Amino acid sequence: MAPFRSPLEWPGLDGAAVRRFALFVIGDAGIEVRASLPGVRFAELDADRLCYAPARVLTAGTAVNLARSAVGYFRRVGVLAKVGDDDYTETIRRELCRLGAADRLVVESGVPNGVSVMLRDGADGGGPGVRLLVVQDEPPARRLTAADVRAAAAGIEDADVLAVDGYSLLAPGSREALHEAMRTARAAGTRVAFDVVPHDIDARLPASCVLPVLERADLVVSEAHTLARLLGHPPPRGGRAPRDLLPVLDRAVPGGPLWLLRFGPTSLERVLAHQRGRSPEAYSTGYSPGAPRAGYGDRLTSCELYWWLSGG
């Protein structure tokens, strides 16, 4: 048996030397305002504060963010998202075009695009700080329908992998759209990758809403803490590898998905890869204190998807 080679060894976080495979992504697309507040800690604020700090506006959302990294690995990337109908709609289209991702946007007439605000405070010791993410209530993505998915079925059927995430489970319409997408992928032989976000999904949904998706996925990416809480298991402590969680996953989810469990001091430093019947392997993500955290997870996921499709 060949020795284990982690995704960081090959293809690495900077993209693949040869782009292969087709990826189809379903998720959010909108506008985000990002700012970091060096020297400010949220916990110490007890009055209004004016801060001058680096700030920018960009096209973002789970689908766009993954596509932004995935185009460095995949020969073809398609994005299905429901968006609003305002001046930002063409901005979102142009960004996907600039990235080289196929635009499968569904425009909902008469509603604004989703807007989010991400603020990160300054932390002692050069860590990532605390993130405050404010997302517009009921963005268009929550109203993606099963009919929208059926209209884009050819993109799913032609892909090597469908990437979906847990934000689609937060509303009845997009939840049914997610299940329709997974049924379509299964029927076509397209593999399914599921990202277990938001990281507090266990506080927003019962396990019974998430387990059916886990059972139909071929690959699952998650912070170990999230899955542990969802399944009623004590989360790993002190950044330790979540090896005692593995039998819990095997009992809860039949079949043999590949689990990529993020762990470490900030749940981004290490990954434990586990699949039923195989010995688990842990590897470094390359993340270290002081590295920009925004977008790191999407770079890592894109790298891992390419590695997985290539045979691991």
Residues near 282 by Cβ (< 8 Å), separated by ≥ 6? 241, 270, 271, 272, 273
Q: Report domain extents, the chain.
A: 22-27+62-112+138-310
Please list the ranges in the chain whose pLDDT falls under 50: none
Q: Which is nearest to 198 in space by CA: 169, 238, 162?
A: 169
Q: Say what the pTM is.
A: 0.95
Distance separating alpha carbons of residues 171 and 264, to the nearest angstrom: 31
Question: Parallel, antiparallel, or unpaired: how do β-strands 74-83 and 30-37 relate?
Answer: unpaired
Q: What is the pLDDT of residue 50?
A: 92
Which pLDDT value is given to residue 127? 65
* CA gap 37, 67 in Å, rounded: 27
Q: Do residues 262 and 232 make contact, with C-beta atoms less than 8 angstroms apart?
A: no
pLDDT on residue 38: 83
Residue 275, token pair as written in the block: 């699949």
Report the C-alpha gap between 190 and 212 in whole angstroms: 18
Q: Is 285 exposed, middle or buried (0-12, 13-18, 19+ CB in 10 A)?
A: buried
40-50 pLDDT per residue, tens: 899 889 999 99
* Region label for 209, one of left (φ > 0), alpha (ψ between -120 and 50) or beta (otherwise): alpha
Of the candidates 76, 99, 100, 96, the residue with the CA atom closest to the CA atom of residue 23: 76
**Per-residue confidence (pLDDT) for residue 149, from 0 to 100:** 98
Q: What pLDDT, on a 0 to 100 scale, did the predictor assign at position 19?
A: 98
Q: What per-residue confidence (pLDDT) applies to 156? A: 98
Q: What is the pLDDT of residue 122?
A: 83
Strand order in the sheet with 55-60: 55-60, 30-37, 115-121, 131-135
**Joined tokens for residue 59:** 């096209």
User: Could you tell me which CATH number the domain at 22-27+62-112+138-310 has?
Assistant: 3.40.1190.20
CB 289 within 8 A of CB 125: yes
- Report in angstroms the alpha-carbon separations of 166 from 7, 92, 94, 211, 222: 24, 22, 26, 11, 10
Q: Render pLDDT for 262-293 as a digit per residue (tens, 0 to 9).
A: 999 999 999 999 999 999 999 999 998 777 78
